[in-house]
Amino acid sequence: MASLQLLHTLPLSTASGNDLEVAFDRGYGKLSSVEAIAGRNLHVVTVAGTHGSRHPFNTPDEWISTLNKWKTKRGVDQQKILSWTLLCENWNLRGDPMLGEEVRIAERTKVGEKPIYAIALREVFDRKNPVKYLKFFASKNHRPYTFVAVERNEHLDQNVLFSPKTPSPERSSVEQALLQSAQPLTVGQRCADWFLMKSMLLSGTMAGKIGTYEAEPSGAALSSIMEECIVSWFGRHKSTAMMASGTRNENPTLDRLRSSVKCMKGIFEVGLLRWNRNHAIGVSPDAICRLVVEDAPDPVLCCLEIKTRVSESTIAKAELARKKHGSFVNCYYGDAVFNDCVPAANRSQVLHQALVTGFQHDVIARGILMDSDFPDWVTDPQRTILKTRAKLYYGHLKLITTEEGDLRPTKPVSIYKHSTQYRYNKHKPGLDKNTEISDRVAFHKTGPFEAKYVFRMLDAVMVNAWRAYQAVTVISPWLRALGSHPSLAQVRTKLNNFVGVEDFVADVALECLRCLAAQKAIPLFPADVPQEEREERQFKSEFSEYKRKHGWPIRKFALKKFASDPFLKKLRLCTFVDHRPQRIRDVQPVIRENGTSQKVVRRKCVLCFVPGKMIPGTSTIKSKEIANNSTYMCPTCMVVLCKKTVGNSGAKSCHTLWHERHNLEAEGSKCRKCLRVAREMNDDEAQKRKLHATNASIKRHSPAKTSQQTQRSQTQVAINDPQDPQDSFDAVENVVEHVLENLMEMEHGEEHGDEEKEEDKHDFLDMEEYSDGSDEKE
């Protein structure tokens, strides 16, 4: 998840025609990572991860594992498994090792985003495994069915026929003689293109088997021969110790013949040859030589086939023939000397080479047209195998065929790779090289995972800085002066004399230490100080710097500043400092004129304070200010806050809300609205109590009146009635006394309004009832 979040921080590429392509290891080969890279307008190609990649195609092993899970899962019957199998059938890669290369591509497209391609590849050219399955993700479908022929890094001798080397006159004469009967398909032997092109040709061994049939074989016999050809062409044949010894002995034998046999005037290596008269017949002799014979005035061309005898029985037969006929013999095909010196298994091969090269024999074959690509005797599995194998065969054949129809073979091919695989491998050395460079400066020490992660991030920063320094100081000026695109080898040569990564890291570290020593204002914390104490020290240092720059305490617009300023917000929510309420007289004592301190200091709470309003253009008061007077304040924030709760019984005080809530202005608006409503209700209750007391007093001292008269008329009658002057005087006196008592109670309540009493039930209101209201403008 952390790596995916880092991918979203990559800069968005806005260049049109952007060819920048990103590749990374299979550990990050998930669909989410690929979509994140493609979303930054970058191209990506990577190998899909083994687990959790969300690649749609299944390898044979993965499909078998999925089937086993379905079969062992409870509540899943055979009908469901059958339906699921039919649904997944088109997403499974075939597992027959005799099949050829297969490329499967699926596209995933979201609205407004680039398509992502899932590519599955079955590879049959791996040296270790008969079949290898690879799965890729790519953001562009670049040549989806194209394979790249990677040339083998091998030095070709001048005596190799049809090689790009400038030919000698002798070699040119040999090539012209061969071209009259055959054309070359490959330059070398036992290379990837040699195995590929040899797979569709009848060479010596299989041609010898077919030649043993005297009459025209039946369909069953031809099908059996085709099965043998398929096994011979596409099967993985492990070399025995004897076969490996014979292969290793070929080059030393050729060198020995060149140096010791005087009748051989020249020996030339050759690849695979195809007969001009029948393109299904080919031959690959070990060499072509110019041999001096007694009957011919000039050296003649012949095929050279080397057979190494390894077992005791074959060595004994060879020694017996040498003793009987000598080390060098001249013989004709089929005579007694030929039968004694050439084993029966190699005689048909000699005839086959002579047929294709044209040095000895000619064979005329007749072909017929058929309605199908395959005869009836070719079975369906054979047809499938041949179809899959023929694609790459004819693709390479097309590559080496010129417009005039001639064959121009390439250099020996090391291996065939799919274009996506080739592009990934092309970028892969950069990943491996980066890992190697990072390992040079890595901090190799055991520890927890978090520490290792931090050190690896530091290593990555240093290596990237070194690369950026190379690009700025060397590569960019060189590219501008060069004016062309150099190869990777040229770039590496240019950077050979550049400062190494170890020296670069050392120089940067020394420069950082010098810079750190020059900045004396930076607090230096010892390594043994706990993390919490370091943070507390750092915060106090920042607090002191803020006081020096902005002044302290905040005297105007405290609520607004503590709600909007990032540092003040961090201060009031911080747990490192003391926010416990203290009396104002202890924090900011008030000194009278006589030099004594005021014992009780009351001020308005900054959170629930509601200022008064005046009628515009007049001195008339529209509304009085409303506030809870408090004798307490926060000693750190230096603001007055009341400890009285406003709202229902579960509400918190202003002091608690100030140090817990992030949106302070919204909380202040709620508190002020609740306080305003509470004060309005208190005023209504006080007015009702006054009227009730006045009515009760008048009723005690006035004569009975009719029920239709109002209370105001009762008071007027009781005061102005001339018939009962003593009662009127007593009533007025009682009313005045009652009013004076109410005024004294109100004054007493104002003096002690700062004390938080639990019996004051009129201030407990439901704050939720006013949570959606907006505060009046101040």
pLDDT, tens digit, 9 for 90 and up, residues 528-539:
556 677 777 778
Q: Which residues contact 391 (CB under 8 A, 6 or more apart)?
A: 100, 101
pLDDT recorded at residue 530: 67
* Interatomic CA distance for residues 122 and 134, integer angstroms: 6
pLDDT recorded at residue 186: 93
Q: Which of 671, 657, 733, 740 is nearest to 697 (CA)?
A: 733
Residues in the chain, pLDDT under 70? 1-19, 111-112, 205, 208-209, 211-215, 239, 241-242, 245-246, 360-373, 429-432, 519-531, 586-587, 589-601, 612-627, 646-650, 686, 690, 692-778
Q: Which of 399, 409, 405, 403 is nearest to 185 (CA)?
A: 409
Given a contact cutoff of 8 angstroms between Cβ atoms, the answer to whether 653 and 645 are in contact is yes
pLDDT recorded at residue 203: 81
Q: Which residues contact 223 (CB under 8 A, 6 or more apart)?
A: 377, 378, 379, 382
pLDDT, tens digit, 9 for 90 and up, residues 11-59:
666 555 556 778 877 777 888 888 887 877 788 888 898 888 888 898 8
Residue 21 pairs with which residues in a beta bridge? Answer: 43
Token pair for residue 611? 């200022």
* Interatomic CA distance for residues 751 and 70, integer angstroms: 81
Q: One-letter amino acid identity for 82?
A: L
Instruction: Please calculate the CA angle 408-191-146 and round it to the nearest 5 degrees.
Output: 65
Given a contact cutoff of 8 angstroms between Cβ atoms, the answer to whether 185 and 224 are in contact is no
**pTM (2 d.p.):** 0.50
Domains of the chain and any CATH numbers: 2-63+87-151+419-429 (no CATH), 169-307+343-411 (3.90.320), 441-518 (no CATH), 567-778 (no CATH)
pLDDT, tens digit, 9 for 90 and up, residues 183-196:
999 998 888 888 88
Q: Which of 260, 109, 251 is nearest to 190 (CA)?
A: 251
pLDDT recorded at residue 179: 92
**CB atoms < 10 A from the CB of 111, how many?**
4
